[in-house]
C-alpha cells in the first residue's frame, strides 16, 4: 500500500486541478441539463395541450386511411321497384366495368339476391320485403315492407338504427345501408383494382394467359396497331391510375432536383472563393457574400416556391428556381467554410514558385476541396429529391402536385399509396447511389 504525504498530494492537485477543483458547471452540469429538459417537456405538453389533442384525435381514421391504401371497394345498389323486382346498379366508374357480373352476387330462385361480403360468414340477402344481414355468427332480418326499415328482434352492437336508415358495419369487409326502397352495399377487396388495364381497355378482365397470348401471337385487336403497342398504350394511359402522367411528374421531380442543385452548385462555387477570408482578403466582400448566403437559405424552399409560382405560374420552372436559390445559399456557405479550413501549406508552396493565381487554386486548393464539395453536393441533391416533392404540392410541378391532388379528393388513397411507394423507391435509389459515390470520392468504405 502506497502512502501519499501532504506535499505529494498538493503537487498532484496543482498539476491536475481539473480533477480536484471542479467547477459548479462541471459537477452539476449534467443534472441541470436533465432538469431543464424535463421542465421544457412539461412546458411543451402544457403549451400544445397534448392530453386534449390525444383525447380528441380521430384515431379511427388512421385505420380507415391505411385500409384504403391497400384495398378498393365495389358499391352495388339494389333498388326495390314497385312491382317487387330488384334493379341492380353500380356507380358510373365502377372497378367492375360497364356490365359487371361478379361471382359473389347470386340471383336466388325466389327472386331475392344474395351478396357475399366476406365468404359465407358475412352476407346480405335482399328481397322485396326484407333484407337479411348475416355477420358475427347471427342473421338479422330488417323489414322494409313498411314506411321505415325495422330490425326484427334485438339490435346487435354492429348495427345502427336511424329514422329512415339502418347501417350495418361489417368491419374491414364493408358495410350495408338499408332503407325502404334501396339497399346499398360497400364490399371491400384487398389490392389495387385495374392497376394494369382500366375498364376501357381491350384487355380488361382477361386472364393473364390470354393477355400474354394476344400480345405474343394473337390476331390484332386493332388492325392498324400491334397488340403489344396497344397493351402499352392502355397501361400508359390507364384512366384510373394515370401511369403516364404519374411517371412523367416523377421524372419532372427528379429533373427539378438535379437542375436546381446543379445550378446552385455552379453559382455557389465561384462565390465561395470570394466569401472565404483566406482566399479573398476583403472583409467587406466576405461579409456581404456570407450574409447573402444566409438570406437565400433562411427563406425556406417552400416559400421560394410560392414566390416563383406567382411569378412564372405553376410548373417545374418554379420548382427548379426554388431549389436553385436555396442551394446557392446552402452550398455557398458549405463551400466557403470548407475553403477556410483547408491546409494552406500546399497553396503557399505553389505560390512561392511564382505561379499564377489560377494555378495556385488549381493545384494548391482544388485537390483538397473537390472530394468534400462533391460529397456535399451529392448529399444536397439526394435531399432535394425529397424536397422537390414537397414544393410540388404548392404548384411547383412534379409528383408533389399530383400527390396533393389525390389526397385532396379524400377518396383516392390507393393512388396516394402508389405515388408514395414510387417516391420511396426513387429516394432509396438516389440515397444508395449518392452514398456509394460519396464514399468512393472520400476514399472510405461504404457500410
- Please state, rounded to an integer, the average pLDDT across all residues of the chain: 86
Q: Is residue 196 over pLDDT 80?
A: yes
- The pLDDT value recorded for residue 333 is 92
- pTM equals 0.79
- The pLDDT value recorded for residue 141 is 93
Cα 274 to chain center, whole Å? 39
Burial grade of 439 (CB within 10 A; 0-12, 13-18, 19 or more): middle
**How many Cβ atoms sit within 10 Å of the Cβ of residue 434?**
19
Q: Is residue 408 over pLDDT 70?
A: yes
Cα(166)–Cα(126) distance, integer angstroms: 14
Per-residue pLDDT of 135-176, as tens digits, reads: 988 999 999 888 788 998 889 999 999 988 999 998 888 899
Task: From residue 151, give the alpha-carbon distance in Å to each of 148, 174, 258, 283, 320.
Answer: 10, 19, 63, 85, 61
Q: Name 183's bridge partners.
A: 78, 178
Q: Report helix, strand or coil for 197.
A: coil
In the structure, what pLDDT confidence band is assigned to residue 235 with cuts at 50, 70 and 90? very high
Among all chains, which residue has been given the C-alpha cell 329514422?
Answer: 163
Mean pLDDT across 24-50? 87
Mean pLDDT across 101-129? 89
Written as nine digits, the cell of 381 is 441533391
Q: Name 168's bridge partners.
A: 159, 176
- The pLDDT value recorded for residue 58 is 82
In the structure, what pLDDT confidence band is assigned to residue 445 with cuts at 50, 70 and 90? low
Give per-residue burial for 13-29: e unless 16+ CB within 10 Å, then b.
Answer: eeeeeeeeeeeeeeeee
Helix (H) or strand (E) holding 289: helix 283-298
- The pLDDT value recorded for residue 4 is 64
Written as nine digits, the cell of 151 is 330490425
Mean pLDDT across 189-216? 90
Report the greatest alpha carbon distance in the chain. 115
Per-residue pLDDT of 356-404, as tens digits, reads: 777 777 777 777 788 888 888 888 888 888 888 888 888 777 888 888 8
Cα(185)–Cα(175) distance, integer angstroms: 6
Those residues with Cβ within 8 angstroms of residue 159's Cβ, 6 or more apart along the chain or in another chain: 133, 140, 151, 166, 167, 168, 169
**How many Cβ atoms sit within 10 Å of the Cβ of residue 446?**
11
Angle subtended by helix axes 399-408 and 366-391, to nearest 10? 30
Which numeric CATH code is attached to 243-442? 1.10.3720.10
- The pLDDT value recorded for residue 427 is 86
- The pLDDT value recorded for residue 1 is 54
- The pLDDT value recorded for residue 62 is 81
* Cα-trace Rg, the chain: 34
Which of 12-16, 34-38, 410-414 bottoms out in mean pLDDT, i.e. has the lowest?
A: 12-16
Per-residue pLDDT of 246-304, as tens digits, reads: 999 999 999 999 999 999 999 999 999 899 888 888 889 999 999 999 999 898 888 99
User: pLDDT over 70 for what percent of the chain?
Assistant: 93
Written as nine digits, the cell of 127 is 328481397
Amino acid at each position: 500500500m502506497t502512502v501519499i504525504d501532504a506535499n505529494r498530494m498538493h503537487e498532484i492537485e496543482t498539476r491536475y486541478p481539473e480533477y480536484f477543483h471542479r467547477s459548479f458547471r462541471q459537477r452539476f452540469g449534467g443534472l441541470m441539463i436533465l432538469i431543464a429538459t424535463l421542465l421544457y417537456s412539461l412546458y411543451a405538453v402544457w403549451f400544445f395541450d397534448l392530453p386534449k389533442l390525444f383525447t380528441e384525435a380521430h384515431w379511427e381514421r388512421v385505420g380507415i386511411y391505411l385500409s384504403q391504401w391497400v384495398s378498393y371497394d365495389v358499391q352495388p345498389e339494389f333498388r326495390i321497384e314497385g312491382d317487387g323486382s330488384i334493379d341492380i346498379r353500380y356507380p358510373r366508374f365502377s372497378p367492375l366495368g360497364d356490365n359487371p357480373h361478379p361471382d359473389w352476387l347470386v340471383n336466388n330462385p325466389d327472386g331475392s339476391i344474395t351478396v357475399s361480403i366476406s365468404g359465407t360468414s358475412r352476407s346480405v340477402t335482399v328481397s322485396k320485403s326484407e333484407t337479411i344481414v348475416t355477420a358475427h355468427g347471427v342473421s338479422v332480418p330488417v323489414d322494409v315492407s313498411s314506411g321505415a326499415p325495422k330490425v326484427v328482434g334485438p339490435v346487435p352492437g354492429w348495427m345502427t338504427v336511424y329514422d329512415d336508415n339502418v347501417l350495418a358495419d361489417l368491419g374491414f369487409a364493408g358495410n350495408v345501408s338499408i332503407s325502404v326502397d334501396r339497399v346499398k352495399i360497400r364490399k371491400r377487396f384487398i389490392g389495387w383494382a385495374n392497376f394494369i388495364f382500366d375498364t376501357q381497355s381491350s384487355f380488361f378482365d382477361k386472364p393473364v394467359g390470354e393477355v400474354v397470348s394476344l400480345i405474343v401471337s394473337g390476331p390484332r385487336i386493332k388492325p392498324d396497331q400491334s397488340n403489344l403497342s396497344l397493351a402499352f398504350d392502355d397501361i400508359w394511359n390507364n384512366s384510373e391510375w394515370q401511369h403516364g402522367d404519374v411517371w412523367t411528374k416523377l421524372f419532372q421531380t427528379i429533373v427539378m432536383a438535379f437542375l436546381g442543385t446543379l445550378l446552385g452548385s455552379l453559382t455557389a462555387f465561384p462565390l465561395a472563393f470570394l466569401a472565404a477570408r483566406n482566399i479573398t482578403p476583403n472583409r467587406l466582400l466576405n461579409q456581404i457574400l456570407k450574409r447573402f448566403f444566409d438570406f437565400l437559405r433562411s427563406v425556406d424552399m417552400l416559400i421560394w416556391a410560392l414566390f416563383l409560382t406567382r411569378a412564372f405560374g405553376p410548373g417545374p420552372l418554379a420548382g427548379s428556381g426554388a431549389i436553385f436559390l436555396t442551394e446557392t445559399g446552402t452550398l455557398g456557405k458549405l463551400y466557403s467554410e470548407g475553403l477556410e479550413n483547408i491546409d494552406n501549406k500546399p497553396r503557399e508552396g505553389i505560390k512561392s514558385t511564382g505561379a499564377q493565381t489560377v494555378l495556385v487554386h488549381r493545384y494548391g486548393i482544388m485537390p483538397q476541396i473537390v472530394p468534400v464539395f462533391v460529397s456535399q453536393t451529392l448529399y444536397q441533391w439526394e435531399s432535394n429529391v425529397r424536397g422537390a416533392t414537397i414544393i410540388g404540392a404548392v404548384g411547383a410541378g412534379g409528383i408533389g402536385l399530383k400527390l396533393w391532388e389525390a389526397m385532396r379528393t379524400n377518396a383516392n388513397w390507393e393512388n396516394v399509396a402508389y405515388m408514395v411507394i414510387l417516391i420511396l423507391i426513387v429516394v432509396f435509389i438516389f440515397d444508395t447511389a449518392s452514398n456509394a459515390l460519396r464514399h468512393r470520392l472520400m476514399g472510405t468504405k461504404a457500410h
